[in-house]
Amino acid sequence: MTIFYESPKIVQWIASVLLLLCGFALMVTIMDLSYGLVLLPFLAPLLNLATVPFFRLIGYYKYLNPFVLSTVQNDEKYDLHNIFTFDYLLNFKWSDRGRKVQKTLLEHYFKALLTIIERIENEQLSPNVKIIGNSYFFNNRTAEKLGFTISKASAFWIFNSVLQFVELSYLYSFSQGKWAMPKFWKVMQAEIVGHDLVAKKETIVGLVQKISFSREVIISHKKGN
């Protein structure tokens, strides 16, 4: 992991609490302005930046790897979420933007699925667990190939994406290597049952290997330039 999460717990706690307090103090100051509500979408990235390390320490954010997290992990449901600005700042450099970021995020999303499969195989998790992800950039063909059912996300997740369009836009642009507007209003849900996911293990392993090789080629090419 990064230097931050390799630091002593006391250092992580102090830094996280300070970041949390400073973030909320700034947000309260801005919200007290007469036009504070208008700025709410622009405050969402600040809120995430200020809360991510704290929520991780208290166990609300449960990371399957440095690039994929859950808020719910039990025998009934595992939800999968993309990382926030804080995690981008820890894990990426500006020069990584573009295809390297795309490949890294995709590779680790599949690795998160392999982690869930491993927990099912080791009987740490029920094979009847529902794995659910909500996103605006699913590759429907790949998702369906892996046995996921694709449907329109709930109103809550659509509203959540619209509210966070500022952060979604610049993170998506970073992964594209250029300014790009994500279709954050077209959030889709992908869902699969644990035992069906286990049946796709070999396919997922193959995808991870393929993406990992592609990412290494990109890195080598950048070094060559």
Q: Tens digit of pLDDT for each residue in 17-51?
A: 999 999 989 888 887 887 767 777 788 888 899 99
Mean pLDDT of 182-191: 87
pTM of the prediction? 0.88
Exposed/middle/buried for 20, CB within 10 Å: 0-12, 13-18, 19+?
middle
166 and 83 in one domain? yes
The predicted structure's pLDDT at residue 128? 97
77 and 7 in one domain? no
52 and 39 in one domain? yes
67 and 22 in one domain? no
198 and 98 in one domain? yes
The predicted structure's pLDDT at residue 83? 93
4 and 78 in one domain? no
Span 98-125, pLDDT tens digits = 999 999 999 999 999 999 999 999 999 9
225 falls in which pLDDT band (50, 70, 90)? low
53 and 157 in one domain? no
Looking at the structure of the chain, the number of domains it has is 2
182 and 74 in one domain? yes
Q: Which residues pair with 189 in a beta bridge?
A: 134, 151
Span 124-175, pLDDT tens digits = 999 999 999 988 777 778 888 899 999 988 888 888 888 888 999 999 999 9
Q: Domain end: 14, 36, 60, which one?
A: 60
70 and 36 in one domain? no
110 and 49 in one domain? no
207 and 116 in one domain? yes
221 falls in which pLDDT band (50, 70, 90)? low
The candidate with the shortest Cα–Cα distance to 68, out of 53, 79, 77, 60, is 79
Q: Domain end: 17, 36, 60, which one?
A: 60
56 and 79 in one domain? no
Span 45-99, pLDDT tens digits = 888 999 999 999 999 999 999 999 999 999 999 999 999 999 999 999 999 999 9
Q: Residue 17: give the domain boundaries.
A: 1-60
Rounded CA separation 225/214 (Å):
17
Inform me whether the pLDDT recorded for 1 exceeds 60. no
Inform me whether the pLDDT recorded for 222 exceeds 80. no
Q: Domain end: 39, 60, 81, which one?
A: 60
The predicted structure's pLDDT at residue 32? 82
